[in-house]
Structure 1
Amino acid sequence: MKKSLSLIITNIILFVLIGCSATPVIQDKINGVSFVSSRDTLVQSHIEPVLKIKASHAAIMPFAFVRDKNNPELIFNTERQWYGERYQGARQYIEALHTNKIKVMLKPHIWIWKGVFTGDMEMNTEEEWGIFEQSYETYILLYAALAEETNVEIFCIGTELYNFTNARKAFWEQLIKKVRGVYTGKLTYAENWDKVDKVTFWSQLDYIGADAYFPVSELETPAISDAKAGWEHHKQLLLLLSKKHNKPVLFTEFGYRSADYAGKEPWTSDRHEGKMNAKAQSNLYEAVFEEFWDEPWFAGGFVWKWFHNYERAALEENNRFTPQGKPAEEVLKKWYSRM
């Protein structure tokens, strides 16, 4: 009885808060894929499968690297990086996609050696913060200028950097202003699912960006209804966030592995052994689309992840994130074609 009363009170509070706030309305959804940066140039045969699923957008991700989460030396745009990870490759990818009328989100990423989570980055001294901030600003403004030169539709100012954004709020306020001075398109930032409601500068951007790896089911193979029920709490959080800032929510990343228990900890990306579970992946995809794609405050999203070599990705038996050659790809095509 106490739980029921608590739920009723919570729903009343949500209704009041939602009713008193503005609501953004999105007409055209962003139906995107996240292109994996590769060693190669992007050619037409790499783009045809994206056109086939009716995707409207693609995320292009130039990378910067640090040795560990406390190291202030940011390394980027070097010849030691793969072609798609650096400036020249990002430009070529953007131009090839635009030729095919596919819109682009340019989304810089930091990679920490050994796969340490970027949200844990935190410098040890004020001096180290200063060094890191200077290099990060140079990195972001380089790609903001590229985004402007190539008429990129969306620019993402960072990806999963909560400790950095939380500890250095003044830096991010001025960085956004500097990016606005260089780039005239739409801006977002991609925060991890568990910190998206804690970002302080959403009101200065055009989209609330969520890397949407929310846990939705502990079942080995969740039914669509199970996954939809698991979204209920998270969806209310995102709706309130949208209302609070009068900004649409964009899934800067979303997706699931084709593996058992894929909805339990969707962020898990380690190379564990195990059989494929394509049904779990496709059901989880369907639940996301049914829950969000008809919502007026929801802008769309970029599925994680899409490899340029479609034939190789589609033929490889794997339990990884890509939907290529799996039933989840048909779910994508169905929903992307609707829009």
Structure 2
Amino acid sequence: MSHASEIAPVCGMTWGWVGVPGTWATPEGEASITLMSEHEVNWTALAYTGIQDTAFSTRVRYGAPTGVGEGEITWAIRKAHELGMKVCLKPVVNVADGTWRAHIGFFDWDVPGEPSWTDWFDSYSDFILDAARIAEQESCEMLCVGCEMVRSDGQEQHWRRLIARVRQVYSGLITYNCDKYQEDRVSWWDAVDLISSSGYYPLNAWERELDRIEEVVRASGKPFFFMEAGCPSRVGSPDLPNDWSLVGGPSGQAQLEYYQEMFRACRSRDWVGGLMLWDWPARLYDADEASTNDDYCPYGKPAGAFMAAQYAEWKSVTSP
């Protein structure tokens, strides 16, 4: 197993979300992931979804036709490795009715006849253990066992049991992607190899939030990186970078200004191991459409060139 200290810097990008069947192992998908790798990206999170019907459902469905199947996942891992990138496999649960996964939740204790955390973790564990098996089989460098599961974060014993089971299957690095503002609320960071979080902090809040996160990282003794971070290329998004539905016109300049502050703040802290930016789709828009695209992907936008330059410099100054 690689040592956690060897991951830095994570000059990363999430690819392929949400894992629509038939979109990964295609010529279009290959062109997309290749273009991403050409932006100095040395890590990618291959993110795909399992689905549960409501926030109170206890069954998580995964694989085709719900999401990409093992064949496409394996294809993407091998393609990323072929292109020189390290891989974090990132299975993520979504809710079919549109409820954000952070709201998935049950009574704090099991009650007969009611949906419970025990029932949910039984099903969710199948989803994660399937990913762990693939990650081990394909020599993925990292596995993310959960993403932004805020209401579940307090279920410490369930998470510890799941992580112990994952370690029986998977020998690589394990992380959990907590949500923004939750870094100091997870009590079981000692169970994983790296701390990671979603860094969707407003433009003017980076220094304050990094001060807060630093206390957690120093106390834990664990490496840290942002498993998600970024900003849509949209007017107003730098103040609400996690709001993908914010109404505003396309603005590559707004995204660039956010990237400039995010990279400046993060690179000034020696304990920040890098960024896994959000996100690069498998079905990529044409370069000549970049100025009218208002989503997170920086391809063809001012932020894309800036990111590549920052990543190249970050890698050069941290090389042995």
Q: Report the 3-state secondary structure (helix = DSSP H, G, I; strand = E; otherwise coil) of the residue aligned with 1:122.
A: coil
Residue of 113, 122, 139 corresponding to 1:151: 139
Aligned length: 299
In the TM superposition, 1:196-207 aligns within 5 A as: 196-207=183-194
**Given the alignment of the two structures, is residue 73 of structure 1 paired with residue 48 of structure 2, yes or no?**
no
Percent of matched pairs sharing the same residue = 22
In the TM superposition, 1:122-141 aligns within 5 A as: 122-123=105-106, 126=111, 128-129=115-116, 130-141=118-129
In the TM superposition, 1:39-54 aligns within 5 A as: 39-40=22-23, 41-43=25-27, 44-54=30-40
- The Cα shift of 1:142 comes to 0.7
Q: Report the 3-state secondary structure (helix = DSSP H, G, I; strand = E; otherwise coil) of the residue aligned with 1:96.
A: helix
With the length of structure 1 as denominator, give the TM-score of the two structures: 0.83
CA distance in 1, matches of 2:7, 2:79: 26
Q: Report the 3-state secondary structure (helix = DSSP H, G, I; strand = E; otherwise coil) of the residue aligned with 2:151.
A: helix
**C-alpha deviations, 1:5-33, integer Å up to 9, x for none?**
xxxxxxxxxxxxxxxxxxx9778301111
**C-alpha deviations, 1:238-286, integer Å up to 9, x for none?**
111110101122111000011122122211012x543112111111111
CA distance in 2, matches of 1:232, 1:295: 10
**Given the alignment of the two structures, is residue 307 of structure 1 paired with residue 281 of structure 2, yes or no?**
yes
Match of 2:318 in 1: none
CA distance in 1, matches of 2:43, 2:150: 26
Equivalent residues of 2:45, 2:276 under 8 A apart: yes
**C-alpha deviations, 1:50-98, integer Å up to 9, x for none?**
2221100111112111111111121111x3234xx33322111101111
Q: Report the 3-state secondary structure (helix = DSSP H, G, I; strand = E; otherwise coil) of the residue aligned with 1:300.
A: strand
Residue of 89, 94, 98 corresponding to 1:111: 94
**Given the alignment of the two structures, is residue 60 of structure 1 paired with residue 46 of structure 2, yes or no?**
yes
The aligned amino acid for 1:72 is T
Match of 1:14 in 2: none
Change (3 A) 1:274 1:53: same
Match of 2:242 in 1: 267
**C-alpha deviations, 1:175-230, integer Å up to 9, x for none?**
111111111111110111022210111112121111111223xxxxxxxxxx4xx3
Larger radius of gyration: 1
Query: What is the alpha-carbon root mean square deviation over aligned residues?
Result: 2.0
Please list every run of at least 4 consecutive aligned residues from structure 1 whose deviation after the TM superposition is greater than 6 angstroms: 24-27
CA distance in 1, matches of 2:74, 2:6: 28
CA distance in 1, matches of 2:303, 2:46: 21
Residue of 46, 65, 75 corresponding to 1:92: 75
Equivalent residues of 2:51, 2:66 under 8 A apart: no
Equivalent residues of 1:26, 1:296 under 8 A apart: no
Equivalent residues of 2:34, 2:83 under 8 A apart: no
CA distance in 1, matches of 2:77, 2:218: 33
- The Cα shift of 1:103 comes to 0.7
In the TM superposition, 1:131-280 aligns within 5 A as: 131-166=119-154, 168-216=155-203, 227=204, 230-270=205-245, 272-280=246-254
Equivalent residues of 1:25, 1:297 under 8 A apart: no
CA distance in 2, matches of 1:109, 1:48: 23
In the TM superposition, 1:30-41 aligns within 5 A as: 30-36=10-16, 37-38=19-20, 39-40=22-23, 41=25
CA distance in 1, matches of 2:7, 2:84: 19
**C-alpha deviations, 1:109-161, integer Å up to 9, x for none?**
11112421111111255452232111111111110111111110110010111
With the length of structure 2 as denominator, give the TM-score of the two structures: 0.87
